[in-house]
Chains A and B, each alone.
Chain A
Amino acid sequence: MSRRYRLRVSESITRVVHVEDHVEAALELLPVLAPERLSQLLAEELARRGFTRAGGDMIRTEDDGTEVRVARAEGTISIRAQADAEIVRAVEKETMVPEERRAEAEQGVRAEARRALEAAIDREGEQRRRALTARLEVKARELQRELDDVTARVTAAALKERAAQLGEIESVHEAEDGSLTIKVRV
């Protein structure tokens, strides 16, 4: 009868996990002026709010690393959150094996340990992605209010400019609900 050995195996994995999520939407601007002029008004309003130019786009990076990008030519806004994290996981497995199967058993136990570690890292990565998504969802809601305001201001500025082109502006009334009435003498 062969002797039995206690086989103890330690395995560890270090992996850099990248998680990201994003949302994108169209900016609803009334086409009351030429697209180039509307784009210019939009850029000015965004610049007042801390956006900087990057080619044809306007970009702002939030404190938490979320990037807000307005593509002026396409009239879209995208919010992208991403994070990298180094995840280290270690596991120790122990089993009793007969002497003649020691090498084969060690291979098997190591493979099993690595599979368990891979699965643990995948779970951890998914948890981090979910946390990132939850953060992005909150951020998107916050930015929505700001972007509603941006759209309203740019459209109002464009309408005033257009009204001035049509004739003499008699009065401008901005209601509490955000609606704007411009009376023009033509």
Chain B
Amino acid sequence: MTGPAPTVTAAEADLLQVARAVVGLCAWEAVEPLIGRGGARPAALHAPAGRLLEETLSRGLVQMLARRGGARPLQFLGSQGNPAAAGRLWQRREPPVFRFTASSLALLRWLLGGNLRSVDVAPLRARPQTLADQLLVIFALDGLATLDGELGPAHLSGALAAQEEVRGLPLAWLTACPVLAVAGATPPAAPAWASMFADEQAGGSTLALEALAPDLTRRWLAAARRKRAISAPALAVRIGTAEIAVLAAFMEAASRANRRDLALWIADTGGRLCARPLPVEALVGALDPQAPLSDRLAARRASGALLGALAQWTRWDGEHRNIGFLDDGHAAAQFLLARYEALASPAVANARAAQAELERLALGTAAPFAVERTPAP
């Protein structure tokens, strides 16, 4: 038997509707009239609305993570550093308990607040405290980007990306690097990246990294495709430089935490991008021919972020090959070797050739050489 439907105020209903959009329970287009239009914002929620909000966000977040990749049977390293059994997110881990703080409510109120398309957007002033808070931010960024459209300027997502509290989130950089870079932000420093691999109680993001791995591959491949449409060297440099910094910082932090498995999505992305020989035009657009040559060269070099990250994976692969049977970490190394071999190994030669081509512009590399050794009779 169900009780009477909870009663909420009109302002609370709007906020709940926006919450549903953020966690994918309704289309963003349905809430577009509510976003950034300066409507009434509930200062605090009454108990029924509070309960509804928590239930909506918890349920929606789990569904969202499952949809973005958590439902796929994947395999990662377990707590002892050995390969854990493959399975879907909920088979590999205990059911997550998401804790939403006042920061999540502040985000929803901000979305309902002042004109996000104006140059004078009100500051968010609510730093995400928990993984759940962070996930809401990145899904809100996605939703606002949907409303911005593929071709239009990123006014809405840019407004959120420009917020100090969002610019400091490594997870946001992994999921929306171009948007943050265009908003003028610079990636956070090493300690923030290291915090991703902390315990979940301490705000670590390993659960999200496992669940979103396929989604991250999809996003970075899409970002690589979108870069082909950029003609302004300065913009290409801004995005590319941020991508290089983000991938390097993330891989460094993952390696220090002995969780290179959580960077396998990079090998996957690089492997897919370079599955076939890659012409320069697949990485960088037709840059403004009137721009200085130095700017165009810088833009071309910056467009090879994924190639550089794949080169780093190749160096890791070499290290994994040198870990002997009796050495610590042998099982993990064998797991990483096998995964890398399957995901990216065939693409390495194509990636190297593409990187050399990007570096080249007008200055070249040497012709191939071979040394054959004839054994003494």
Contacts and interface: CB of A to CB of B under 8 A. Distances in A.
A109 interface: no
Given A144-B363, A144-B364, A156 B293 contact: no
Contacts of A29: 366
B368 interface: yes
A23 B372 contact: no
Contacts of A184: 371-374
Interface in A170-185: 170, 177-185
A25 B372 CA distance: 30
Interface residues of B, number: 25
A163 B371 contact: yes
A162 B371 CA distance: 10
Contact of B361 (A23, A151, A170): A23
B363 A143 contact: yes
B369 A148 contact: no
Given A25-B363, A26-B359, A129-B292, A185 B374 contact: yes
Contact of B367 (A23, A24, A178): A178
A140 interface: yes
A155 B364 CA distance: 13
Interface in B340-377: 356, 359-376
A102 interface: no
A28 B367 CA distance: 10
Contacts, number: 100
A21 interface: yes
B359 A143 contact: no
A15 interface: no
Interface string A126-137: 000110010011
A147 interface: yes
A77 B363 contact: yes
Contacts of B322: none
Contacts of B376: 167, 185-186
A127 to B, nearest CB: 10
A22 B361 CA distance: 12
A177 B368 CA distance: 9
A182 B297 CA distance: 36
A69 to B, nearest CB: 12
Contacts of B294: 21-24
Contact of B369 (A22, A30, A141): A30
Contacts of B363: 23, 25, 77, 79, 140, 143-144, 147
B201 interface: no
Given A21-B293, A26-B359, A166 B367 contact: no
B80 interface: no
Nearest to A25: B363
B290 interface: yes
A140 B293 contact: yes
Contacts of A151: 364-366
Nearest to A140: B362
Contact of B364 (A23, A30, A148): A148
Contacts of A137: 293, 362
B292 A179 contact: no
A152 interface: yes
A177 B369 CA distance: 11
Contact of A180 (B291, B362, B369): B369
Interface string A12-33: 0000000001111110111000
A7 interface: no
Contacts of A79: 362-363
Interface in B294-325: 294, 297
A144 B356 CA distance: 14
Interface in A142-158: 143-145, 147-148, 151-152, 155-156
Contacts of A163: 371
A110 B111 CA distance: 51
B13 to A, nearest CB: 55
Contacts of B367: 148, 152, 177-180
A22 B356 CA distance: 19
A162 B370 CA distance: 12
B369 A159 contact: yes
Nearest to B369: A180
A167 B372 CA distance: 12
Contacts of A136: 293
A2 B360 CA distance: 71
A133 B292 contact: yes
A28 B362 contact: no
Interface string A26-64: 101110000000000000000000000000000000000
A166 B366 contact: no
A130 B293 contact: no
Nearest to A166: B373
Given A28-B366, A137-B362, A184-B372, 4 more contacts: A23-B294, A137-B293, A144-B360, A186-B374
16 contacts: A21-B293, A21-B294, A25-B363, A28-B364, A29-B366, A30-B366, A79-B362, A130-B290, A140-B293, A140-B362, A143-B363, A144-B360, A152-B366, A180-B369, A181-B371, A181-B372
5 A-B pairs with least C-beta separation: A140-B362, A178-B367, A25-B363, A151-B366, A28-B365
